[in-house]
Amino acid sequence: DSGVTQTPKHLITATGQRVTLRCSPRSGDLSVYWYQQSLDQGLQFLIQYYNGEERAKGNILERFSAQQFPDLHSELNLSSLELGDSALYFCASSEVGQDPSGNTIYFGEGSWLTVV
């Protein structure tokens, strides 16, 4: 158990809908990362937050947004969903935000999103 908690574990929704995925980082971790992994594909970096502020952005679609709250949990919002958005969405966390040297990222077990 990495200590990173993601909810829901599974979600099925229709095209055009909006969903919110939630992540609680490990205790003490200030950074949160979101990744998308489609079937048999690699891990696509979406976005990173550090202590409530956006730190880095990857290939995140404009239909997707995220935020990190004062209690450090994070939410990933996916809107106008398309069939191609079906994937496993991972949240990860780490202690370090200011200096990436030696940073170790710990992953949750993911949220399975199926768009039908």
Partner 1 sequence: LAKTTQPISMDSYEGQEVNITCSHNNIATNDYITWYQQFPSQGPRFIIQGYKTKVTNEVASLFIPADRKSSTLSLPRVSLSDTAVYYCLVGDSNYKYIFGTGTRLKVLA
Question: How far apart, in whole angstroms, are the C-alpha atoms of residue 105 and residue 81?
Answer: 28
Please report whether residue 33 would count as binding partner 1 according to CB under 8 A: yes
Identify the CA nearest to 66 among candidates 104, 100, 32.
32
16: tokens are 């055009």
Please report whether residue 4 would count as binding partner 1 according to CB under 8 A: yes
Q: Which of 80, 103, 114, 116 binds partner 1 (CB under 8 A)?
A: 103
Please list every residue from 47 through 86 that binds partner 1, using CB under 8 A.
48, 50, 55-58
Tell me the closest approach of the beta carbon of residue 49 to partner 1, in angstroms.
Answer: 10
Q: What is the DSSP string of 21-83?
A: EEEEPPTT--EEEEEEE-TT--PEEEEEEETTEEEEE-S--TTEEEEE-TTS-EEEEE-S--G
Candidates 20-28, 61-69, 72-80, 93-101: pick the segment binding partner 1 (CB under 8 A).
Answer: 93-101
Binding residues with partner 1: total (CB under 8 A) = 30
Binding site for partner 1 (CB under 8 A): 2, 4, 33, 35, 42-43, 45, 48, 50, 55-58, 88, 90, 92, 97, 99-110, 112
